[in-house]
Amino acid sequence: MSRNAAARIAEAAAVRPSARQLAWQQCEFYGFIHFGMNTMTDREWGSGHEDPALFDPEEVDPAQWVAAAESAGMRGLILTCKHHDGFALWPSAHSAHTVAASPWRGGSGDLVRETAEACAAAGLAFGVYLSPWDRTETTYGSGAAYDDFFVAQLTELLTAYGPIFSVWLDGANGAGADGRTQYYDWERYYEVVRGLQPDAVISVCGPDVRWCGNEAGRTRLDEWSVVPASLQDAERVASRSQQADDGEFSRLVRSDEDDLGSRDAITAVSDELIWYPAEINTSIRPGWFHHPSEDHRVRTPEELFEIYRRSVGGNSTLLLNIPPDRRGLVTEPDLQVLSTRGSLIRDLARRDVAKNGDWQASSGDIAPGFRVWTPSENDPAPSIRIRWDEPVTIDGIMVAEDITRGQQIDEVLIIGLTASGVPRKLAQLRSVGYRRIVDVPAQPITELIVQIDAARGPVTLSGLAALRPSDLTAS
């Protein structure tokens, strides 16, 4: 390795997450609630200026949304407080186009408050989505005047509804038929969030959480949290986001950015390296808002569990959209899928057979259920061996790094020994990070060897599990 390359790897090894990024990563899996005027008009993108009288969801129940989220294993909810149509789900003092102008709750309702309170009662984190594009607001496209308006509404959301764990900003912009384009003052928006909710991550068009690049639930084979700072450019993210309401973007997957943080990727560029982890966002249905015509197109529990395994089990988090219907309730098809999916997630812990084995490490102390394992600095090939008296059948491995000390692992080799002592390569991983879950060919073994073959700096593991095949089904 050249001196310059070695210095670059050392730079990557020194990058750490902020406290807010760490708390967000530990949230792991949380929900998106797309609900509002579009739900009533059966659209994805509203045109703006819709009649507020259309909004009157008589059975709306955020506590039911929270219960649905909990059944799936979610730890938080993000509400679309205002989508592109400009209709606000709280009685904003800065717009007449809000729930206060609707017949819902006699014009005295505040759906943001009801959702925040339902989350707080259940111990779920609460986050807000506020579209930067407003098709109703007359100052949109005017520059600073619109920024003032956006900041005023953002301030309302960040000061009246308790702790916020995520402020989700997408790249929607009004360039198009009406010709109005607003150049958002992102830095000003970030300053407002930092000042009012310093523990909140700013996601997607923000400096804390990176969009995975698609809405299909597709993940990279190797996801890195340490990446070049150029990826943090909000305008770049916006240019790759949805540009038209064409119904195709939700399942579009690009392949031009599959490697963002490997050794080759980071040594090929010279800009600063930062901690900028990925979020996977997708919907339980083809659309983001509820459409009755999609009631038969809800994703299966197995499909959603696979997305979970590849996202939360791939050094990312998962943001899954569950859109309530016109009544204001998550529908029965969605509820059934969410509950079954939650069972599959909870089953992961029950499937761990490693805790019943005899553990040995090449260096350093280790035992089943260890909190951290740090091999000695002079250990040339750090490894963990788990032995069983009788063969056990496994079909998956979970390994995790203590990311408070960075993302260090570059390569892990996983080997299983058969009852006759024959070694078999089960998997070879590059990145690990917060958590990595990998499928292996189902087979009986008597010994498992997890060997770290390459790392950027001192390695500290925070978890290791060997997973037996699940006996749960979606039936």
**Interval 348-405: pLDDT, tens:** 999 999 999 999 999 999 999 899 999 999 999 999 999 999 999 999 999 999 999 9
Res. 250: pLDDT tops 50: no
For residue 181, the model assigns a pLDDT of 83
3-state secondary structure of 303: helix
Mean pLDDT of 329-352: 96
* DSSP 8-state symbol, 211: E
- For the chain, give every residue range classified as CATH 3.20.20.80: 3-350
Nearby residues of 225 by Cβ (< 8 Å), 6 or more positions away: 17, 261, 275, 276, 277, 278, 315, 403, 407, 433, 434
Start-to-end Cα distance in the chain = 53
* pTM of this structure: 0.93
Mean pLDDT value across the chain: 93
pLDDT tens figures, 293-307: 999 999 999 999 999
- For the chain, give every residue range classified as CATH 2.60.120.260: 354-467
For residue 474, the model assigns a pLDDT of 46
For residue 243, the model assigns a pLDDT of 45
What CATH homologous superfamily does 3-350 map to? Glycosidases (3.20.20.80)
pLDDT tens figures, 142-201: 999 999 999 999 999 999 999 999 999 998 887 655 567 899 999 999 999 999 999 999
Res. 240: pLDDT tops 90: no
Res. 332: pLDDT tops 90: yes
What CATH homologous superfamily does 354-467 map to? Galactose-binding domain-like (2.60.120.260)
Judge contact between 466 and 353, C-beta under 8 A: yes
Mean pLDDT of 39-55: 97
Judge contact between 64 and 330, C-beta under 8 A: yes
CA-nearest of 468, 395, 463, 473 to 433 is 463
CA-nearest of 330, 322, 350, 316 to 433 is 316
Output 255-258 pairs: Cβ under 8 A, ≥24 positions apart: 257/213, 258/220, 258/221
User: Residue 198 is which amino acid?
Assistant: P
CA-nearest of 94, 195, 93 to 138 is 94
Mean pLDDT of 212-229: 88
Sorting pLDDT into bands at 50, 70 and 90, what band is 241?
low
CA-nearest of 261, 238, 251, 244 to 282 is 251
Res. 108: pLDDT tops 90: yes
